A = this chain, B = another copy of it.
Amino acid sequence: MDHDVRPVWPGILEAYQRFLPITEQTPRLTLHEGHTPLIYADKLSERLECHVYLKFEGANPTGSFKDRGMVVAVAKAKEAGKRTVICASTGNTSASAAAYAARAGLEAVILIPHGYVALGKLAQAVQYGARIVAIRGNFDQALAIVREVAEPLGMEIVNSINPYRLMGQQTAAFEICDVLGRAPDALYIPVGNAGNISAYWMGFTRYHAEKRIDSLPRMFGFEAEGAAAIVRGEPIAQPETFATAIRIGHPASWEKAVRAAKESGGAIDCVSDDEIASAYRLIAQEGVFAEPASAASVAGLLKRHKAGDVKQGETVVCVLTGNGLKDPDSAMRLASQEELVVDGDPLSVRRALGGFQ
């Protein structure tokens, strides 16, 4: 291909206007979210004898898939004349809400459970100028308060109970089909709050209804074993996993996720922290640095492959929901490497590197 001028990607609202609840009055808010790379995973594809693509959502403006839905939710809040958005969050949602609020000229209020959230996790939201309020209580209480105070204070809730969030998130499914020119045979995706698998399914079925694709993928969602509420069939009071972004014991979109898996001929299953850690390293070997939670999709693919459930030659997409830079501590902790310290001369370095063996 010779050089070919390409216009900048205009962002979700403009690119997928036709599929979103956008009116003439909706502000064309964007940080150029979406249009994230669909990366062919050479090594995994060879090993599994199928075509594995990684949908790297960590390339979004604030480093996670949340931006796709947040841009819609914040634009609609502004259209409705709201001056402040509010959410309860301990991580990616707060960063995204704060960024789009700043961009739109709105205020953002973030409720967090006091003492529970590492302050470093909130660096983005703080930098974007959000007002952080720590409450003496847990996350569920924070969300309950958000629901109660938003209306009297005239604030718009941008937690995932805001329906515009999932509408925006479905655009990732559109992009996959646009790039592949078809639907994949199967989609693998981490399941935490269970909204994202629901949004992808909404996107695929919409494209199918519009005859842009002529088949639908099977949807396979993976919870972390220690937070596998849907798999176990009951909420988990104390969910445990190092993959913090899916450490959720009572998924908000539970039924929708189950329906997506069932309707598509897929499943909701779970993977252990060891399986997640191992997949996390395999993803890095493809050149991609994702959040630990993201690796649940690849861990799920490996689990099904081991069980003989992945057909040779299939085209599968694994969704990587967030950027590894969000959690550098996990990278360091999981690295098997010991630090190698040598004297500062060429001979010592060559010896250390095996150059004189």
Contacts and interface: CB of A to CB of B under 8 A. Distances in A.
A134 B6 contact: no
A179 B7 contact: yes
B287 A328 contact: no
Nearest to A1: B14
A260 B344 CA distance: 35
B328 A123 contact: yes
Given A178-B6, A331-B123, A133 B37 contact: no
Contacts of A280: 127
Contacts of A19: 3
Contact of A340 (B61, B132, B287, B345): B132
The size bracket of the interface on A is 35 or more
A356 B126 CA distance: 24
A152 B328 CA distance: 34
A302 interface: no
B135 A349 contact: yes
Interface string A28-45: 000110010111001100
B285 A102 contact: yes
Given A3-B17, A19-B3, A341 B114 contact: yes
Nearest to A141: B344
A2 B31 contact: no
Contacts of A328: 120, 123-124
Interface of A: 1-10, 14-19, 31-32, 35, 37-39, 42-43, 56, 59, 61-63, 95, 99-100, 102-103, 105, 109, 111, 114, 119-120, 122-124, 126-129, 131-137, 141-142, 145, 148-149, 152-153, 178-179, 280-281, 284-289, 323-326, 328-329, 331-332, 334-335, 337, 339-346, 348-350, 352-353, 355
22 contacts: A1-B14, A2-B17, A3-B17, A3-B19, A4-B15, A7-B179, A8-B37, A31-B37, A56-B61, A63-B323, A102-B286, A103-B286, A114-B341, A123-B335, A124-B324, A127-B334, A133-B352, A134-B339, A145-B345, A148-B346, A149-B350, A153-B355
Given A8-B179, A124-B331, A136-B344, 5 more contacts: A1-B15, A8-B37, A56-B61, A124-B324, A124-B328
